Homo-oligomer: A and B are copies of this chain.
Amino acid sequence: MTSYTVPKGTRDFLPDEMQRRNYIFQTISSVYQLYGFAPIETPAMENLSTLMGKYGEEGDRLVFKILNSGNFLENTNLTKGYKELTFDICERGLRYDLTVPFARFVVQHRNELVFPFKRYQIQPVWRGDRPQKGRYREFFQCDADIIGSNSLLNEFELIQIIDNVFNRLGIKVIIKLNNRKILAGIAALIGEESMLTDITVAIDKLDKIGQEEVNQALLKKGLSLESLEKLQPILTLQGSNVEKLNCLESLFSSIEIGLQGISEMRELFGFLDISEIGANIEFDLTLARGLNYYTGTIIEVKASDASIGSICGGGRYDNLTGIFGMPGISGVGISFGADRIYDVLNELNLFPEELSSSCQVLFCNFGKEEEIQCLRWANAFRQAGIRTEVYPESSKLKKQMAYADAKKIPHVILVGEDEIKEGLLTVKDMLSGKQLKLSLQATIDYINGK
Protein backbone atom coordinates (compact mmCIF):
# COMPACT_ATOMS: atom_id res chain seq x y z
CA MET A 1 0.00 0.00 0.00
CA THR A 2 1.46 3.39 -0.93
CA SER A 3 1.87 5.44 2.19
CA TYR A 4 -0.37 8.51 2.18
CA THR A 5 0.39 10.92 5.00
CA VAL A 6 0.07 14.58 5.88
CA PRO A 7 2.77 16.92 4.54
CA LYS A 8 5.83 17.35 6.76
CA GLY A 9 5.31 19.75 9.66
CA THR A 10 1.49 19.47 9.57
CA ARG A 11 -0.84 17.39 11.74
CA ASP A 12 -4.15 15.58 11.80
CA PHE A 13 -6.13 16.04 14.99
CA LEU A 14 -7.95 12.96 16.25
CA PRO A 15 -11.06 13.20 18.43
CA ASP A 16 -9.30 13.13 21.83
CA GLU A 17 -6.83 15.79 20.78
CA MET A 18 -9.57 17.89 19.13
CA GLN A 19 -11.59 17.91 22.33
CA ARG A 20 -8.58 19.04 24.29
CA ARG A 21 -7.73 21.72 21.75
CA ASN A 22 -11.34 22.92 21.60
CA TYR A 23 -11.33 23.16 25.38
CA ILE A 24 -8.36 25.56 25.14
CA PHE A 25 -9.88 27.59 22.29
CA GLN A 26 -13.28 27.79 23.98
CA THR A 27 -11.75 28.88 27.27
CA ILE A 28 -9.79 31.64 25.56
CA SER A 29 -12.65 32.84 23.37
CA SER A 30 -15.22 32.83 26.17
CA VAL A 31 -12.93 35.03 28.29
CA TYR A 32 -12.29 37.33 25.33
CA GLN A 33 -16.07 37.62 24.93
CA LEU A 34 -16.56 38.30 28.64
CA TYR A 35 -14.50 41.46 28.13
CA GLY A 36 -16.47 42.55 25.05
CA PHE A 37 -14.06 41.41 22.34
CA ALA A 38 -15.78 40.42 19.11
CA PRO A 39 -14.55 37.70 16.74
CA ILE A 40 -13.32 38.32 13.20
CA GLU A 41 -11.77 36.07 10.57
CA THR A 42 -9.63 36.79 7.54
CA PRO A 43 -9.00 34.51 4.53
CA ALA A 44 -6.21 31.92 4.56
CA MET A 45 -4.79 33.57 1.45
CA GLU A 46 -3.61 37.14 1.20
CA ASN A 47 -2.15 38.95 -1.77
CA LEU A 48 1.65 38.75 -1.65
CA SER A 49 1.71 42.55 -1.87
CA THR A 50 0.05 42.52 1.58
CA LEU A 51 2.43 39.97 3.11
CA MET A 52 5.84 40.72 1.60
CA GLY A 53 8.29 42.98 3.45
CA LYS A 54 6.42 42.70 6.75
CA TYR A 55 8.32 39.87 8.43
CA GLY A 56 11.91 40.58 7.46
CA GLU A 57 13.94 38.66 4.89
CA GLU A 58 13.48 35.31 6.59
CA GLY A 59 9.71 35.79 6.81
CA ASP A 60 9.50 36.67 3.12
CA ARG A 61 11.20 33.38 2.40
CA LEU A 62 9.01 31.34 4.79
CA VAL A 63 5.63 32.59 3.51
CA PHE A 64 3.99 29.80 1.52
CA LYS A 65 3.26 31.04 -2.01
CA ILE A 66 0.33 29.85 -4.10
CA LEU A 67 0.85 29.16 -7.78
CA ASN A 68 -1.31 31.30 -10.09
CA SER A 69 -4.13 29.46 -11.84
CA GLY A 70 -4.07 28.72 -15.55
CA ASN A 71 -0.95 29.20 -17.64
CA PHE A 72 1.27 30.78 -15.03
CA LEU A 73 4.18 30.85 -17.49
CA GLU A 74 2.53 33.43 -19.73
CA ASN A 75 4.32 36.77 -19.69
CA THR A 76 7.14 35.26 -17.68
CA ASN A 77 10.81 35.48 -18.38
CA LEU A 78 12.20 32.07 -17.51
CA THR A 79 15.78 33.26 -17.47
CA LYS A 80 15.12 35.02 -14.18
CA GLY A 81 16.38 33.38 -11.01
CA TYR A 82 13.83 31.50 -8.89
CA LYS A 83 13.50 34.31 -6.36
CA GLU A 84 12.41 36.88 -8.90
CA LEU A 85 10.37 34.33 -10.81
CA THR A 86 8.33 33.58 -7.69
CA PHE A 87 6.54 36.90 -7.90
CA ASP A 88 5.75 36.40 -11.60
CA ILE A 89 4.06 33.07 -11.05
CA CYS A 90 2.53 33.62 -7.58
CA GLU A 91 0.22 36.47 -6.60
CA ARG A 92 -1.01 35.06 -3.29
CA GLY A 93 0.43 33.53 -0.17
CA LEU A 94 -0.83 31.87 3.01
CA ARG A 95 -1.37 33.89 6.19
CA TYR A 96 1.91 34.01 8.16
CA ASP A 97 0.54 35.56 11.34
CA LEU A 98 -2.70 37.28 12.40
CA THR A 99 -1.28 40.78 12.90
CA VAL A 100 -0.53 41.79 9.31
CA PRO A 101 -3.88 40.49 7.98
CA PHE A 102 -5.56 42.33 10.88
CA ALA A 103 -3.81 45.57 9.89
CA ARG A 104 -4.95 45.06 6.27
CA PHE A 105 -8.47 44.30 7.60
CA VAL A 106 -8.59 47.53 9.62
CA VAL A 107 -7.54 49.63 6.62
CA GLN A 108 -9.95 47.88 4.25
CA HIS A 109 -12.93 48.13 6.63
CA ARG A 110 -12.05 51.36 8.47
CA ASN A 111 -15.43 52.89 7.66
CA GLU A 112 -17.38 49.88 8.97
CA LEU A 113 -15.59 49.54 12.32
CA VAL A 114 -16.42 51.14 15.68
CA PHE A 115 -13.36 52.55 17.48
CA PRO A 116 -11.92 51.70 19.95
CA PHE A 117 -12.10 48.40 18.08
CA LYS A 118 -11.75 45.24 20.17
CA ARG A 119 -11.36 42.08 18.17
CA TYR A 120 -10.21 38.54 18.76
CA GLN A 121 -9.13 36.09 16.12
CA ILE A 122 -8.35 32.38 16.44
CA GLN A 123 -7.09 30.94 13.17
CA PRO A 124 -4.25 28.83 11.80
CA VAL A 125 -1.14 30.38 10.26
CA TRP A 126 1.44 28.77 8.00
CA ARG A 127 5.22 29.07 7.96
CA GLY A 128 7.73 27.17 5.87
CA ASP A 129 10.07 26.64 8.83
CA ARG A 130 12.11 23.49 9.05
CA PRO A 131 9.80 21.22 11.10
CA GLN A 132 11.10 20.12 14.50
CA LYS A 133 9.75 19.06 17.87
CA GLY A 134 7.12 21.58 18.94
CA ARG A 135 7.47 23.65 15.77
CA TYR A 136 4.90 23.13 13.04
CA ARG A 137 4.23 24.50 9.57
CA GLU A 138 0.55 24.93 10.44
CA PHE A 139 -0.38 26.17 13.89
CA PHE A 140 -3.06 28.28 15.55
CA GLN A 141 -2.72 31.78 16.93
CA CYS A 142 -5.26 33.24 19.39
CA ASP A 143 -4.95 37.01 19.28
CA ALA A 144 -6.87 39.87 20.86
CA ASP A 145 -6.20 43.56 20.23
CA ILE A 146 -7.75 46.87 21.22
CA ILE A 147 -6.94 49.57 18.70
CA GLY A 148 -7.68 53.27 18.65
CA SER A 149 -7.19 53.93 22.37
CA ASN A 150 -4.07 54.98 24.29
CA SER A 151 -5.53 54.30 27.73
CA LEU A 152 -3.59 51.95 30.01
CA LEU A 153 -6.93 50.51 31.05
CA ASN A 154 -6.57 48.41 27.91
CA GLU A 155 -3.30 46.92 29.12
CA PHE A 156 -4.96 46.26 32.48
CA GLU A 157 -7.88 44.53 30.78
CA LEU A 158 -5.57 42.26 28.77
CA ILE A 159 -3.70 41.31 31.94
CA GLN A 160 -7.04 40.48 33.61
CA ILE A 161 -7.89 38.32 30.60
CA ILE A 162 -4.55 36.49 30.82
CA ASP A 163 -5.12 35.89 34.55
CA ASN A 164 -8.68 34.73 33.95
CA VAL A 165 -7.78 32.33 31.12
CA PHE A 166 -4.96 30.63 33.00
CA ASN A 167 -7.02 30.53 36.16
CA ARG A 168 -9.79 28.68 34.29
CA LEU A 169 -7.24 26.33 32.75
CA GLY A 170 -5.67 25.71 36.18
CA ILE A 171 -2.21 26.85 35.10
CA LYS A 172 -0.22 28.93 37.60
CA VAL A 173 1.59 31.69 35.77
CA ILE A 174 4.02 34.57 36.20
CA ILE A 175 3.07 37.61 34.16
CA LYS A 176 6.18 39.63 33.33
CA LEU A 177 5.82 43.27 32.42
CA ASN A 178 8.16 45.86 31.02
CA ASN A 179 7.90 49.05 29.02
CA ARG A 180 9.78 49.83 25.89
CA LYS A 181 10.13 53.46 27.01
CA ILE A 182 12.11 52.32 30.04
CA LEU A 183 14.47 50.45 27.73
CA ALA A 184 14.81 53.59 25.64
CA GLY A 185 15.52 55.54 28.84
CA ILE A 186 18.30 53.11 29.73
CA ALA A 187 19.88 53.51 26.30
CA ALA A 188 19.75 57.29 26.73
CA LEU A 189 21.14 57.02 30.27
CA ILE A 190 24.28 55.23 29.18
CA GLY A 191 24.60 57.57 26.21
CA GLU A 192 24.01 54.98 23.52
CA GLU A 193 20.62 55.88 22.11
CA SER A 194 21.58 54.71 18.64
CA MET A 195 22.26 51.26 20.07
CA LEU A 196 18.83 50.76 21.61
CA THR A 197 18.07 47.82 19.35
CA ASP A 198 21.34 46.05 20.13
CA ILE A 199 20.94 46.66 23.83
CA THR A 200 17.39 45.32 23.97
CA VAL A 201 18.31 42.29 21.84
CA ALA A 202 21.12 41.58 24.26
CA ILE A 203 18.97 42.15 27.37
CA ASP A 204 16.35 39.85 25.87
CA LYS A 205 18.93 37.05 25.96
CA LEU A 206 20.00 37.69 29.58
CA ASP A 207 17.80 34.84 30.81
CA LYS A 208 19.20 32.35 28.33
CA ILE A 209 22.89 33.13 28.05
CA GLY A 210 23.73 35.07 31.24
CA GLN A 211 25.25 38.44 32.00
CA GLU A 212 28.78 37.61 30.90
CA GLU A 213 27.84 36.59 27.38
CA VAL A 214 25.45 39.53 27.04
CA ASN A 215 28.33 41.84 27.84
CA GLN A 216 30.57 40.13 25.28
CA ALA A 217 27.85 40.46 22.63
CA LEU A 218 27.40 44.17 23.37
CA LEU A 219 31.14 44.84 23.17
CA LYS A 220 31.23 43.10 19.82
CA LYS A 221 28.39 45.30 18.61
CA GLY A 222 30.54 48.33 19.46
CA LEU A 223 29.27 49.40 22.87
CA SER A 224 32.02 51.27 24.69
CA LEU A 225 33.49 49.83 27.89
CA GLU A 226 32.30 52.93 29.70
CA SER A 227 28.71 52.48 28.58
CA LEU A 228 28.83 48.80 29.40
CA GLU A 229 30.00 49.71 32.90
CA LYS A 230 27.00 52.04 33.32
CA LEU A 231 24.68 49.27 32.19
CA GLN A 232 25.74 46.72 34.81
CA PRO A 233 23.74 47.94 37.87
CA ILE A 234 20.64 48.05 35.69
CA LEU A 235 21.07 44.45 34.55
CA THR A 236 21.23 43.28 38.14
CA LEU A 237 18.48 45.49 39.57
CA GLN A 238 16.93 43.83 42.64
CA GLY A 239 13.90 44.29 44.92
CA SER A 240 10.15 44.54 44.63
CA ASN A 241 8.43 45.99 41.57
CA VAL A 242 8.05 49.33 43.34
CA GLU A 243 11.66 49.36 44.53
CA LYS A 244 12.93 48.71 41.02
CA LEU A 245 10.77 51.50 39.62
CA ASN A 246 11.96 53.90 42.34
CA CYS A 247 15.58 53.04 41.68
CA LEU A 248 15.21 53.54 37.93
CA GLU A 249 13.35 56.80 38.45
CA SER A 250 16.22 58.30 40.38
CA LEU A 251 18.73 57.02 37.80
CA PHE A 252 16.72 58.57 34.94
CA SER A 253 16.44 61.94 36.76
CA SER A 254 15.70 64.07 33.67
CA ILE A 255 15.47 61.52 30.86
CA GLU A 256 11.96 62.23 29.61
CA ILE A 257 11.21 58.96 27.82
CA GLY A 258 12.44 56.83 30.70
CA LEU A 259 10.33 58.77 33.20
CA GLN A 260 7.30 58.37 30.96
CA GLY A 261 7.84 54.61 30.96
CA ILE A 262 8.11 54.63 34.77
CA SER A 263 4.90 56.63 35.03
CA GLU A 264 3.03 54.21 32.74
CA MET A 265 4.24 51.24 34.73
CA ARG A 266 3.14 52.92 37.97
CA GLU A 267 -0.35 53.58 36.57
CA LEU A 268 -0.65 49.99 35.42
CA PHE A 269 0.53 48.63 38.78
CA GLY A 270 -2.06 50.95 40.36
CA PHE A 271 -4.85 49.17 38.49
CA LEU A 272 -3.36 45.79 39.31
CA ASP A 273 -3.20 46.63 43.03
CA ILE A 274 -6.97 47.13 43.26
CA SER A 275 -7.78 44.03 41.19
CA GLU A 276 -8.17 40.41 42.15
CA ILE A 277 -5.43 39.11 39.91
CA GLY A 278 -4.24 35.73 41.13
CA ALA A 279 -1.11 35.50 38.99
CA ASN A 280 2.29 36.76 40.07
CA ILE A 281 3.06 40.06 38.38
CA GLU A 282 6.72 40.85 37.91
CA PHE A 283 8.39 43.94 36.50
CA ASP A 284 11.15 42.39 34.43
CA LEU A 285 13.67 44.75 32.89
CA THR A 286 15.16 41.96 30.78
CA LEU A 287 11.91 41.54 28.91
CA ALA A 288 12.21 42.96 25.40
CA ARG A 289 10.22 40.59 23.10
CA GLY A 290 11.07 41.44 19.54
CA LEU A 291 11.88 45.05 19.18
CA ASN A 292 10.88 47.53 16.63
CA TYR A 293 7.27 46.54 16.92
CA TYR A 294 6.40 47.42 20.53
CA THR A 295 6.50 51.02 21.73
CA GLY A 296 5.04 50.88 25.27
CA THR A 297 4.02 48.08 27.61
CA ILE A 298 5.50 44.64 26.96
CA ILE A 299 3.85 41.51 28.37
CA GLU A 300 5.09 37.95 28.62
CA VAL A 301 3.63 34.97 30.46
CA LYS A 302 5.35 31.83 31.70
CA ALA A 303 3.94 28.80 33.47
CA SER A 304 5.29 28.57 37.03
CA ASP A 305 5.36 24.77 37.10
CA ALA A 306 6.58 23.91 33.59
CA SER A 307 9.80 24.84 31.83
CA ILE A 308 8.38 25.55 28.42
CA GLY A 309 9.09 29.20 27.56
CA SER A 310 6.52 31.86 26.89
CA ILE A 311 2.86 30.70 26.63
CA CYS A 312 1.37 34.15 25.98
CA GLY A 313 2.74 37.54 25.12
CA GLY A 314 2.01 40.91 23.68
CA GLY A 315 2.37 44.63 24.05
CA ARG A 316 1.55 48.11 22.87
CA TYR A 317 2.39 49.39 19.41
CA ASP A 318 2.12 52.89 17.98
CA ASN A 319 1.43 52.31 14.38
CA LEU A 320 -0.38 49.14 13.35
CA THR A 321 -1.60 50.23 9.93
CA GLY A 322 1.11 52.66 8.84
CA ILE A 323 2.55 49.99 6.54
CA PHE A 324 -0.77 50.11 4.67
CA GLY A 325 -0.86 53.89 4.40
CA MET A 326 -3.13 54.61 7.38
CA PRO A 327 -0.98 56.16 10.13
CA GLY A 328 -1.88 57.00 13.72
CA ILE A 329 -3.67 53.79 14.74
CA SER A 330 -2.16 52.67 18.03
CA GLY A 331 -3.20 49.69 20.05
CA VAL A 332 -2.29 46.91 22.39
CA GLY A 333 -2.64 43.18 21.91
CA ILE A 334 -1.86 39.71 23.24
CA SER A 335 -1.53 36.27 21.70
CA PHE A 336 -1.93 32.90 23.41
CA GLY A 337 0.28 30.07 22.20
CA ALA A 338 -2.23 27.23 21.94
CA ASP A 339 0.28 24.49 21.16
CA ARG A 340 2.47 25.31 24.15
CA ILE A 341 -0.55 25.66 26.44
CA TYR A 342 -1.61 22.21 25.22
CA ASP A 343 1.80 20.85 26.18
CA VAL A 344 1.67 22.47 29.65
CA LEU A 345 -1.82 21.08 30.36
CA ASN A 346 -0.66 17.67 29.20
CA GLU A 347 2.56 17.73 31.20
CA LEU A 348 0.81 18.84 34.39
CA ASN A 349 -2.17 16.54 33.78
CA LEU A 350 -4.60 19.45 33.95
CA PHE A 351 -7.10 18.54 31.21
CA PRO A 352 -10.56 17.91 32.71
CA GLU A 353 -11.46 14.22 32.65
CA GLU A 354 -14.72 14.75 30.84
CA LEU A 355 -14.46 17.00 27.84
CA SER A 356 -17.77 18.24 26.63
CA SER A 357 -18.11 16.82 23.14
CA SER A 358 -17.56 13.16 24.01
CA CYS A 359 -20.46 10.76 24.04
CA GLN A 360 -22.18 10.05 27.40
CA VAL A 361 -24.38 7.05 26.70
CA LEU A 362 -24.38 4.02 24.41
CA PHE A 363 -27.54 1.99 23.86
CA CYS A 364 -26.52 -1.58 23.08
CA ASN A 365 -28.35 -3.18 20.18
CA PHE A 366 -29.95 -6.62 20.77
CA GLY A 367 -31.93 -6.85 17.53
CA LYS A 368 -34.75 -5.37 15.51
CA GLU A 369 -37.40 -5.31 18.20
CA GLU A 370 -35.26 -3.91 21.01
CA GLU A 371 -33.71 -1.44 18.59
CA ILE A 372 -37.01 0.37 18.03
CA GLN A 373 -37.49 0.89 21.76
CA CYS A 374 -33.87 2.04 22.10
CA LEU A 375 -34.36 4.61 19.33
CA ARG A 376 -37.35 6.09 21.17
CA TRP A 377 -35.52 6.26 24.48
CA ALA A 378 -32.35 7.60 22.84
CA ASN A 379 -34.39 10.50 21.49
CA ALA A 380 -35.73 11.27 24.94
CA PHE A 381 -32.13 11.30 26.19
CA ARG A 382 -31.05 13.69 23.44
CA GLN A 383 -33.98 15.98 24.17
CA ALA A 384 -32.66 16.12 27.72
CA GLY A 385 -29.31 17.22 26.28
CA ILE A 386 -27.50 13.90 26.81
CA ARG A 387 -25.02 12.95 24.07
CA THR A 388 -26.30 9.52 23.07
CA GLU A 389 -25.46 6.78 20.58
CA VAL A 390 -27.41 3.69 19.55
CA TYR A 391 -25.04 0.95 18.36
CA PRO A 392 -26.03 0.58 14.69
CA GLU A 393 -25.84 -3.22 14.47
CA SER A 394 -26.88 -6.12 16.69
CA SER A 395 -23.28 -7.35 16.97
CA LYS A 396 -22.05 -9.52 19.84
CA LEU A 397 -22.38 -7.73 23.18
CA LYS A 398 -18.65 -8.10 23.76
CA LYS A 399 -17.93 -6.10 20.61
CA GLN A 400 -20.40 -3.39 21.61
CA MET A 401 -18.90 -3.14 25.08
CA ALA A 402 -15.41 -2.90 23.58
CA TYR A 403 -16.69 -0.02 21.44
CA ALA A 404 -17.98 1.80 24.55
CA ASP A 405 -14.67 1.17 26.30
CA ALA A 406 -12.55 2.41 23.42
CA LYS A 407 -14.65 5.57 23.09
CA LYS A 408 -14.61 6.05 26.88
CA ILE A 409 -18.40 6.22 26.99
CA PRO A 410 -19.23 6.22 30.73
CA HIS A 411 -22.74 4.68 30.63
CA VAL A 412 -24.13 1.77 28.65
CA ILE A 413 -27.86 1.02 28.45
CA LEU A 414 -29.07 -2.56 28.03
CA VAL A 415 -32.60 -3.04 26.73
CA GLY A 416 -33.73 -6.64 26.33
CA GLU A 417 -37.09 -8.45 26.47
CA ASP A 418 -37.47 -7.91 30.23
CA GLU A 419 -36.73 -4.20 30.10
CA ILE A 420 -39.29 -3.70 27.32
CA LYS A 421 -41.94 -5.59 29.30
CA GLU A 422 -41.26 -3.63 32.47
CA GLY A 423 -40.68 -0.30 30.72
CA LEU A 424 -37.37 0.06 32.54
CA LEU A 425 -33.78 0.61 31.42
CA THR A 426 -30.73 -1.24 32.71
CA VAL A 427 -27.87 1.25 33.10
CA LYS A 428 -24.33 0.01 33.49
CA ASP A 429 -21.66 2.31 34.86
CA MET A 430 -18.61 1.39 32.77
CA LEU A 431 -16.12 2.50 35.41
CA SER A 432 -17.55 0.72 38.46
CA GLY A 433 -19.40 -2.03 36.60
CA LYS A 434 -22.46 -1.26 38.76
CA GLN A 435 -25.87 -1.96 37.13
CA LEU A 436 -29.20 -0.31 37.95
CA LYS A 437 -32.68 -0.82 36.55
CA LEU A 438 -34.48 2.51 36.35
CA SER A 439 -37.38 4.31 34.71
CA LEU A 440 -36.65 6.61 31.76
CA GLN A 441 -36.77 9.79 33.84
CA ALA A 442 -34.74 8.26 36.66
CA THR A 443 -32.09 7.17 34.13
CA ILE A 444 -31.91 10.67 32.66
CA ASP A 445 -31.55 12.17 36.15
CA TYR A 446 -28.92 9.57 37.05
CA ILE A 447 -26.84 10.34 33.95
CA ASN A 448 -27.23 14.07 34.47
CA GLY A 449 -25.83 13.51 37.95
CA LYS A 450 -28.99 14.60 39.77
Contact = CB atoms under 8 A, between A and B. Distances in A.
A71 interface: yes
A89 B185 CA distance: 50
A82 B73 CA distance: 6
Nearest to A394: B151
A43 B371 contact: no
Given A7-B47, A387-B33, A392-B151, A39 B2 contact: no
A305 interface: no
Given A7-B46, A45-B10, A149-B393, A39 B66 contact: no
Contact of A4 (B29, B92, B156, B324): B324
Given A66-B66, A73-B85, A126-B44, A12 B403 contact: no
A357 B33 contact: yes
Given A49-B4, A274-B375, A375-B275, A390 B153 contact: yes
Contacts of A1: 107, 324-326
Interface string A133-159: 000011000000010011101101100
B40 A14 contact: yes
Contact of A42 (B12, B66, B72, B324): B12
Contacts of A431: none
Interface stretch (A109-117, A197-205, A296-304, A340-348): A109-117
A153 B38 contact: no
Contacts of A13: 39-42
> How many copies of the polypeptide does the oligomer hold?
2
B371 A12 contact: no
Interface residues of A, number: 108
Interface in A66-112: 66-67, 69, 71-73, 78, 81-82, 85-86, 89-92, 94, 104-105, 107-109, 112
B44 A44 contact: yes
Contacts of A45: 6-7, 10, 64, 126, 137-138
Given A10-B43, A34-B386, 15 more contacts: A1-B326, A7-B47, A10-B44, A18-B40, A19-B39, A22-B39, A29-B357, A34-B382, A34-B388, A36-B387, A38-B358, A114-B406, A114-B407, A164-B382, A275-B375
Interface of A: 1-2, 4-7, 10-15, 18-19, 22, 29, 33-36, 38-47, 49-50, 61-62, 64-67, 69, 71-73, 78, 81-82, 85-86, 89-92, 94, 104-105, 107-109, 112-114, 116, 118-119, 124, 126, 128, 137-138, 146, 149-151, 153-154, 156-157, 160, 164, 271, 274-276, 324-326, 356-359, 362, 371-372, 375-376, 379, 382, 385-390, 392-393, 403, 406-407, 409
